[in-house]
Amino acid sequence: MSYLLKYLTVFLFSLTGIAQNSIDEAIQKYNSGSVDYIEVETLKTKLDAGEDIVLLDTRAKAEFDVSHLKNAIWIGYDNFKKENVKQLDKNTEIVVYCSIGVRSEQIGERLKNMGFKNIQNLYGGIFDWVNRGYPIYKNSKQTKNVHAYDKFWGKFLERGNKILE
C-alpha cells in the first residue's frame, strides 16, 4: 500500500509540473517580458493584506461576464479604450490579467506608453489563479465557472468548470 501511495504522489506532482510548464512555455513563446510579472501567490498575499491594487481584466467581455477576480475592472483587449482608464492615477499599483498573461502583457505595454508607472502582469493569469484554488466571482458571488477562451488555451485550466461560448 505504501508503494502505491508513493507512486500516486509522484504521478500527481508530475501532472502539476506538466501543466505549469505548459503555461510557462506558452508565456515564454508568446510574451516578450516587456511588462513586469507578479506571481499569483504574491498578488493573493497583497490582496489579503488589504493593499490598494487595481485589477484590470483584459479579456473579452464574454470571458469577464463568466467570472473574474474580485473587484476587477473590465477594460477588454480588442476594444480597449484609453478613456476606460483615464480616471486612474498614473502611480496607482495596477495588475493586468487575462487567461494566462499574453493579452494582458500587450495591454500593459499600452498602459506604460500612456504614462502609467506601476503596471504588473499576472503570471499565469486567471487560469493559474483558479488552478491554485483561489476564488473567482460573477456579480459579486463566488463561482466555479471559468471561460476557457478556446480548446487550445483551455488546456491550461485544470480546475473550475470550463465554459466555452
User: Does this model's pTM top 0.75?
Assistant: yes
Domain limits, the chain:
2-163
DSSP characters over 6-70: HHHHHHHHHHHHHHHHHHHHHHHHH----S-EE-HHHHHHHHHTT---EEEE-S-HHHHHH-BST
pLDDT at 12 over 60: no
Chain segment 95-133, per-residue pLDDT in tens: 999 999 999 999 999 999 999 999 999 999 999 999 999
HSE at residue 54, side-chain half, CA atoms within 13 A, is 21
Spatial contact of 127 and 44, defined as CB atoms under 8 Å apart: no
Per CATH, domain 2-163 is 1.10.1270.20? no
Cell numbers linked to 59: 479579456
